[in-house]
Amino acid sequence: MAKPKVLVTRRWPAAVEAKMAEVFDLSINRDDRPLTASDIRGALGDYDAVLPTVTDRLPAQVFDLPQTRTRILANYGVGFSHIDTEAAKSRGIAVTNTPDVLSECTADIAMTLMLMVARRAGEGERELRDGRWTGWRPTHLVGTKVSGATLGIIGFGRIGQAMAQRAHHGFGMKILVQNRSAIAPEVLARYNAEQVASVEDLLPRCDFVSLHCPGGAANRHLINARRLDLMKPDAFLINTARGEVVDEHALAQALWFGTIGGAGLDVFEREPVVPDALLGADNLVLLPHLGSATRQTREDMGFRVLANLTDFFDGKTPRDRVA
């Protein structure tokens, strides 16, 4: 039987590419530039499996072609709001993602952002490298204490819980949780966490708010001007989820006017575009979507895609099927 024809849309870790090439009739986008909508449309007609990443946009229009050959979109990443899963389903295309393997590293980046912005580490590094550091003094770059503060976690899935683990057990933080469904009491008990009824209930009580909910239409601008107003004026917002969850314009205003104390962002609404209004804010730490970017995790993500594909082409339900 012919090997399934598979397209990898970006460069992946070499070990994963090599293993994939043994198992499938593999094509790799060696340019490593984001595919255009028309490239992706073409791929859906040509390949049995397409392996997209967050840089591949698959709205409903992309699926609108006379004949799709693709039977599975095995996404390299846990978030899949860049794929219209309803449109995929209507064409009989399965969708999988890569949960679990990136939870620890994404929570590490959320902690990094929280510590950096609270302790003014980015500002300090810029000052030092620019030759502006004039020496130690008691009032120099004084930040905010993280240990023992209250952290609000919006979205209490695997990454949200990995964040709670670090913040509660490592930093003695009090954890408040907002999640669309009820979290089991024994799960909350692991972090001595309290689940609150709504985002509105959570925001005024927190010194830090970290976003770990999915992106997509349902959560678009979940953090908007009105909700930023509910935060304490010295509180910090951390986003390692998806850019669209935060209204960047409203956030820039809130940072400028001191509605909140600061923010740390790893994701943006129109990556890689970061609005000038954000670039100009000092009380903001910006990272270029590094959540899962460790050698180990990027390999694990690749092998998780491979496991999903192998199951699928063996006629089994892939473990990470999301549509």
| Active site (annotated) includes residue 123 | no
Task: Say what angle helices 295-313 and 103-118 make with each other, to 10 degrees.
Answer: 150
Q: How far is the CB of 105 from ligand 8YV (least distance, A)?
A: 8
| Active site (annotated) includes residue 271 | yes
Q: Is 78 near ligand 8YV (CB under 6 A)?
A: yes
Which residues from 37-66 bind ligand 8YV, rule CB under 6 A? 53-54
- Please pick, from the candidates 150, 161, 239, 292, the single residue that binds ligand 8YV as defined by CB under 6 A: 292
Q: How far is the CB of 117 from ligand 8YV (least distance, A)?
A: 20
Q: With contacts defined by CB under 6 A, name the span among 18-26, 71-79, 176-184, 193-201 that binds ligand 8YV.
A: 71-79
Residue of 242, 244, 269, 298 with catalytic role: 242
Residue bearing tokens 């899949």: 80
Angstrom distances, CA of residue 169 to CA of 165, 173, 174, 211: 6, 8, 10, 19
Q: With contacts defined by CB under 6 A, name the span among 21-29, 70-78, 85-93, 159-167 that binds ligand 8YV.
A: 70-78
Angstrom distances, CA of residue 279 to CA of 115, 118, 274, 291: 19, 18, 7, 20
- Please pick, from the candidates 6, 40, 74, 102, the single residue that binds ligand 8YV as defined by CB under 6 A: 102
| Active site (annotated) includes residue 242 | yes
Residue of 249, 271, 299, 321 with catalytic role: 271
Beta strand segments in 240-276, E: 262-265
* DSSP-derived 3-state class of residue 296: helix
Distance CA 73, CA 49 (A): 6
Q: What is the DSSP letter of 318?
A: P
Binding site for ligand 8YV (CB under 6 A): 53-54, 76-79, 102, 291-292
